[in-house]
Structure 1
Amino acid sequence: MLTIDKLLYYLEQQFVNFVILEDFLKKVKRSFDDYVAYFREGLLDDREIADKLGVSRVNVWRMRKKWESGENSVSDDSRLSISEDTFEHLLSQTFKSEVNARKVRSELDLERANLELGFINAFKQYSGVELVSMHTKIENLRAEIDALNKASSKKNKQVVNGEINSLKSELDEYIKECSIREMELYYECMKKLATVHEAESKSNYKNSKGHK
């Protein structure tokens, strides 16, 4: 069951992943000037600069050679180089984020299914109470008809048949009335479920628009 603590934990993980991604994008966009600033300071070696910028030592060495040769810019391919560790870490965090997202979605779907099942069970109980008087009347009419059939004789058969036919007509009317009322109740149930799904769809649509 999805709890508030689980939801908060999931949101916290999403925020952490967002920070990691934001940091990654900053590292990807390293410009030549980012390297030059460290080269001019002369306080760090290539390994330390690579750690600071989140790129490979080879990339720092390449930028240093270009700086020493007097070049003022580098190609996009060089600027987009990142360290293998950084890339693998990003992939790992992205995978974990997807796993957590699927887990939360699964728990939400299960919780919704349980709520719908509970609603349907409650509806069945309600409809049973709502229709109990009609069902009782139908069963009583059937019992009367059976009793008359068993008690009929040649002497009063015509009279009994008249009573049976009258009871059968009454039984048919009650069955129709009960069926119509049962369909009305089911229709009300379906409308309520459809309203819930529609509200949920609108909420999901608004949330998806808000994240764009």
Structure 2
Amino acid sequence: ISEYHPNQRNEVIQSYLIRGLCQPRGHIFKQTLIGGVLRRFNPAWFDHYPNWLEYSVKKDAAFCLCFYLFKDNTGKIPKNDVWTTDGFSSWNKLKNISEHVGDDITKNEYQIRLNALIDASRFLLQQGLPFRGHEEKEETANNGNFVELLKYTTEQNEVVSKVVLKNAPGNNQMTSPKIQKDVVHCFAEEVVKTIIEEIDHGVFGLLVDESADVSYK
């Protein structure tokens, strides 16, 4: 995805999502001798991991569509080329597949963290308030509305307090400026989608009024 122009990436991602996962269930999967035993990809895994698991007939390897579409390409997070470029084909190491998606506890904690983030974002957007402060460090007295609202939520909700901010994994706190912008962008897309549905995909325009600055002459 990073090879595409930034202005095209969202469109490319949407195309992939519309196309759906590559899951050739009727394919006769190649057997490979691993550890003295013939092993192969098991199509039953498609049912066990229906939302992300793909299989490449050409490479005889499994891939993660989510990692491919949304993996970090800034260099700040180590690349995981096994699930995006090289493909996973160690059919004797099924534990690696379950570790890739995490256990039920990890997924539940992530869901709680995500919901708290969305609730905080929804409140700030409804009130027309800014998200970020002058600086957002742990020792800062005021970290901006978004982080401070999350802190307030932790004081009121013990379940949330166990999985957000300092109690969240270091690489999954979901409070970075990039994450905040992504969530706001999602809200914007939902608003536009709702407007389009309300007018039955008709044409609409925006009337914007302008007020000159008092110093303007």
Q: Which has the higher helix share?
A: 1
Q: TM-score, normalised by structure 1?
A: 0.20
Higher RCO structure (Cα 8 Å, ≥6 apart): 1
Larger radius of gyration: 1
Q: TM-score, normalised by structure 2?
A: 0.20
